Amino acid sequence: MLISIFALLVSVDAAPLESAFKPDEITVACERIEKVNETKLSEIVAVPNDKRTFQNTVLAIENASTDYYDAVSRITFMKEVHEDPAVRAAAAKCEERSGKYLVNVGARKDLYLAMKAYLDDAGKTDTLDPQDKRLIDVTMRDFKKNGLELSDKDRDKLIGLRSRLTTLQTKYSHNLDESKLQLEVTKEELDGLPEAFIARLKPAKNPKKLVVTTQYPDYFPVMENAKKEAIRKKMQIAFMSRGAKENTKLLEEAVKIRSEAARLLGYTTHVDFVTADRMAKSATNVEQFENRLREGLKPRLSAENEKLRALKAEETKQKNPKLFSWDWRYYLNQMKKKDYALDDEAIRQYFPADKVFAGMFEVYATLFGVKMAEVPGAKVWSKEGVKLYEVKDAKSNAPIAKFYVDLYPREGKYGHAACFPLGLARQTGEGYQIPMSVLVTNFNPPKDGKPAYLSVNEVTTLFHEFGHVMHASLTTAKYAALAGTNVSTDFVEAPSQMLENWVFRPEVLAKISVDPADATRAMPEDLAKRIIEARKFDAGIKYSRQVFLGTFDFKIHTGSGKVDTDKVAKQLWKEIMGTEQDRKERFSASFGHMMGGYDAGYYGYLWSEVFAADMFTRFEKEGVLNPSVGRAYRDTILAKGRSEEASALLEQFLGRAPNESAFLEGLGIQGAAKK
């Protein structure tokens, strides 16, 4: 069995993922993949310096790196989705091992010297195309950030710090995924929740109570609909306490290590280190960006908070009630019902998951000139909501990519929505290796023969995350390091954020919805109009919360010495959001982005939204379902990946320098963002 698994792992041209992993096989395969990579790297180092070429040095390093990633990521991904906890645990150990191994590989001086030898000799006269040169620039930049210009002593110290960081990050995310925190409540305590929600809950040991988990499909409905404040408070504290026993300490140690590593490399803070090669360029620019948005949003946030306070006063009969962290989702939902006659839970019936997927596929197919079809009989890791699809070019019928979807929550499964790239696209001697990715969500599952239904927020999330799938799938870059979503982190969200706009267009709502009173029709035009009008009714709170998240990230990664992340979170929430948190809430224990690759980079969600809004202006002008504009977007933004700077791609697509006007106008504020 091991041989067949390993053969699959090292031949990843979008072949189906193996679902029959056993824990001991994972451990052995993880070790063997590493040994194979070591052999490849040793062969590169052994090339005489006077015989070095682009192919046997630069490309060889890139290919070895990609082979390793393709193989090991297919194992470590099982940590996020596999039904067997023993498999998830073994995959988590492999992730920790591979993380430490990659730290060492990235800091190998012999590989760095091999690159230098090539650049000092043949590299001066070789005729290279722009992507070849770009690959060299990216590779050398990464060597520098991995400490190859440090002394041997300092480089060894950096390796030790980053190896420890890998352990901390794996433990943190594993604690979140494996959290079994839940509430046991009576039906009466769930006053305000839809009957369909209550009907799907499992009974508790106490026959008079029901189990409510802290997973998204339970958390959001409770926070948005539960009339009893005590239940919302319990849910908020439980949700924010996932992993709290260990995770706050893990994050704080990680913050300290990141700061030490940044200073070792000559950067003032971890934010300066992270942003140096991104669009933001410095911690100062990030801080100014967050502060401008914070100030610009204050009037709107204040007005929205006053509306929520008035609603709470009316409902609770209190004269001047306080707003707490467990109130805003609920009272925003009440405001939406009152001002726009929209009930999120009632609207679900218009968005059956199958219809949404079919309509979304049609939209993306029209825009990007592709077609998507399910692969029958594919091996999957769960029979519940996991499917494999193939993407083909509509004109040539040539395969472009494959992707899985994993839609519904399970115990131990990754708890958010995300796109995981597993097989990276690249040019090989046998042709172009098409990419493979996985779309992971946690939507309410079908029950008792009834289909799964999505809320407007979930539909928006789906369009966003599938935008990442398309970004990964439609790349044509020569090298994996430059392909698909391997772009600057403060730009990577822009393509997906831009595609969220389609959900709020009448011509798209007509494709993704069904009128429950007449299955042959889409939702009524009046309902579609109200959904569109209500899109940014909560912009003050929504974007201020994003400022809070980005500012929290910035503060903990620019401090000196030990950082009390819980104290920072509570202080910033009150300062920025203007409401209160409970002392039992442990936000920093459950903010997975801080230990999942977005550390010192969370500002990128808002930063990239500036570009997303600007890109959408072209579609607004020329047609949101215009295949010509969609093709231009595919060829310019999606296909090129990181083969060119993001700013250059934006200018090519827009025909002008990007600006912030569309973003600001959408928020109704001025002077709040800057590129």
Give the active site residues: 465
Contact 616, 662 (CB under 8 A): yes
Report the candidate in 371, 369, 397, 400 with the shortest Cα–Cα distance to residue 625: 369
User: Coil, strand or helix: which one is 84?
Assistant: coil
Residue located via tokens 């070095």: 52
- Other CB atoms within a 10 A radius of the CB of residue 454 amount to 24
**Torsion over CA of 614, 620, 621 and 624, rounded to 10 degrees?**
120
Q: How far apart are CA 406 and CA 341, in angstroms?
A: 33
Angle at 205 between CA 203 and CA 206, to 5 degrees: 90
Closest C-alpha among 29, 36, 44, 68 to residue 424? 68
Which residues, including other chains, have CB under 8 Å from residue 515's CB and lie 6 or more apart?
A: 350, 521, 522, 523, 524
Helix, strand, coil fractions of the chain, as percent rounded to 5: 60, 10, 35
CB atoms within 10 A of CB 116: 18
Residue with tokens 């001991």: 24
- Both tokens of residue 630? 């969609």
Q: Sign of torsion, CA 506 510 513 515?
A: positive
Q: What is the per-residue burial (b if ≥16 Cβ within 10 Å, else e) of 87-96? A: bbbbbbbbbb
User: Residue 275 has which token pair?
Assistant: 């942003």
Exposed e or buried b per residue across 284-306, where buried means at least 16 C-beta atoms within 10 angstroms of its C-beta: ebbbebbebbbebbeebbeebbe
Instruction: Report angle CA 83, 87, 91 to the nearest 5 degrees.
Output: 120
